[in-house]
Structure 1
């Protein structure tokens, strides 16, 4: 995943792709935290970028979930 994922790229993905993306980013985030704790982390800005990419993906998933719930008939 490139640093600073564009929101248009995230919106173009399906829900399953977004869920997989979040999972991959969570793994990367864990590895980055582990590197930081052991003093091996060189790209410190990557932590912030990964956090924001996770937030972007989760925001789009939430928007889609709320839109789907709003479109269902209440009864």
Structure 2
């Protein structure tokens, strides 16, 4: 699980890269679940929350850029 402080120190490009990586992992976990091979079921929720954190930060950065 990624801490919010770690994410805030990253640039927008780094956040986009990490978001893409998490989305790929999320897809793979869903595929494993569908085929009955998923062992670490808790990882699904962790990834979902990390994706939400990154998307929230990106939205906040866009809003800050508009006001500046």
Q: TM-score band (shorter)?
A: over 0.9
Query: Offset of 1:56 from its aligned partner?
Result: 0.6
TM-score normalised according to structure 2 size: 0.98
Whether 2:9 is the aligned partner of 1:5: answer: no
Structure 1: stretches of 5+ with no match in the other structure: none
Q: Which structure 1 residue ranges, 4+ long, deviate > 3 Å from structure 2? A: none
Aligned match of 1:52: 49
Whether 2:38 is the aligned partner of 1:24: answer: no
Aligned match of 1:69: 66
Query: Offset of 1:44 from its aligned partner?
Result: 0.3
Tell me the number of residue pairs that the alignment of Structure 1 and Structure 2 aligns. 68
Give per-residue Cα distances to partners, 1:31-58, cap 9 Å, x unaligned: 0000000000000000000000011111
Bigger radius of gyration: 1
TM-score normalised according to structure 1 size: 0.89
Structure 2: stretches of 5+ with no match in the other structure: none
Superposed CA RMSD: 0.5
Whether 2:12 is the aligned partner of 1:15: answer: yes
